[in-house]
Structure 1
Amino acid sequence: MTLKEEFATRNFSIYAQWLGILSLILCLALGISNLFTVNILIIVFAALCIASGVVIIFIEVPLLMRICPTSASFDAAVRKITTNYMRAGAYGVMALLQYLSIIFGRTSLIAAAIFLTFTALCYLLAGVKGQAFVGSKTLGGAGVAQMIV
C-alpha cells in the first residue's frame, strides 16, 4: 500500500501516526533550541520535550523496537501503548507537559504542544469512530518489523 493509498483509507489512526512523526521532529528540534535559554525551568521543559520525542520514535516506528537496544521495562511500557485510546492519552499527557511550559515563559515549545494535541485528537477520533489502529507500512508497521526476525 502506497502512502497515497494509506491516506485515502480515511482512517484517523494513519493521520495521527503521520502527525506523530511531525510532532517527533518538532519535539526534538524545539527541545534542542530551547536548551539554550537562561530560564532553568524552560530548560527542564525543553528536556521533557526531547524525551517526548524519543518516546514518540519508539511508539510510531515499531521497527526501531527490534533494532535499538532498550531496557525490558522501557519495551514493556511502550508496548502497552497500542490502542488508539492509549496513544491519545500518551500524546495528551505529552501535550499537557508542553502547555505547562507557558507558565514560565512564552517559548516555541507551544508549537510542539499544539502538534501533540492534534495527534492526540486524531487518535481519539479514530477510537471514537471505532477504527482499528492501522500502522503505516511506510513507518515499519504491518509486516515490515517481522521481516527482520
Structure 2
Amino acid sequence: MKLILTQEIPGLGSPGDTVQVAAGYGRNYLIPRRYAIVATRGAEKQIEQIRRARSAREIRDLGQAKEIAGQLATLPIRLVTRAGKEGRLFGSVTATDVVAAVSAAGGPDLDRRRVELPSPIKSLGSHTVSVHLHPEVVATVKLEVVSA
C-alpha cells in the first residue's frame, strides 16, 4: 500500500514522504490515526504543501533545537520513584516519566515520542537518555533516579 505521511513516524519517515507499507498497517493504524493519507494524484498537491511547510519549519527549528539541546545538557534532572532495598525499581521509568521530570526541573516541554530509552530503566542511579529534537540534533539528558 502506497501512502503519504502527514506526521513523522519514527523508523518510517517524515511528513510529505511517500512510503510503501503493508496494507493492514496502513489501513488499520496509519490512516485512522491520520498519520498518513492514501497516495493519489490529488494527494501530490498536498505533498508539495506539506514539504514547503516542513522546509520552512526546519530552518527555524534547527537553531531552536540546538538551543533546547544546550538547555537540556546543563539541566539537573531528578526523578523520584519507589524502589526496593537493593535499588531495584517497582516498575520502570518510561518516556512519559522523563518528560514530566524535565518539565518539573524547569526545562522545555518535550514530546514523549521523541524520548529514546536505550533499555528500560529499572534501577536507581544516573542514566543517560537521548531526545531527538530535530533530524540533525539529538540532545543527551542526564537523569538521576532516586528513591522516594
TM-score when normalising by structure 2: 0.25
Identify, as 1 or 2, the structure richer in strand: 2
TM-score (norm. length: structure 1): 0.24
Identify the structure with the greater helix proportion: 1
